[in-house]
């Protein structure tokens, strides 16, 4: 609601956004798939993106036409699935 209207938002203030957030608590809105885009990516694009990036990404994000995600990769630190390795140690215990 508080995102600029030129990119698909309503151009309202933070007070209206907070009022909506409070009023919508009693409803089961399907917001989970949009949390990353609306909570992190979109605000970042609005803050530091070019006009072209804002035009390309913000409106489809707000309309639910695109769903954004967050990927993690920390090589060697446990969350790098592409670099996953396993090993086995022969300890002499029979398996059934």
Which of 95, 34, 80 is closest to 61 using CA atoms? 34
For the question of whether the overall pTM of this predicted structure is more than 0.75, the answer is: no
Q: What is the dihedral of CA 3, 1, 66, 74, to 10 degrees?
A: 70
Give the residue from 70, 72, 67 showing the smallest Cα distance to 33: 67
Average pLDDT over residues 14-22: 93
Report the domain count for the chain: 1
Q: What is the pLDDT of residues 24-77, one digit of tens each?
A: 999 998 889 999 999 999 999 999 999 999 999 999 999 999 999 887 666 666
Domain ranges, residue 34:
5-83
Three-state SS letters, 21-39: HHHHHHCCCCCHHHHHHHH
Cβ-contact 6, 55 below 8 angstroms = no
Q: Is residue 89 part of a domain?
A: no
Is 48 contained in some domain? yes
């Amino acid at each position: 609601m508080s995102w600029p209207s030129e990119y698909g938002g309503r151009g309202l203030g933070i007070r209206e956004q907070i009022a909506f957030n409070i009023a919508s608590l009693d409803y089961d809105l399907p917001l989970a798939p949009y949390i990353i885009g609306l909570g992190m990516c979109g605000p970042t694009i609005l803050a530091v993106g070019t006009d072209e990036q804002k035009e390309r990404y913000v409106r489809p994000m707000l309309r639910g036409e695109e769903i954004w995600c967050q990927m993690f990769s920390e090589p060697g630190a446990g969350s790098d699935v592409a670099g996953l390795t396993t090993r086995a140690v022969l300890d002499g215990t029979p398996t059934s």
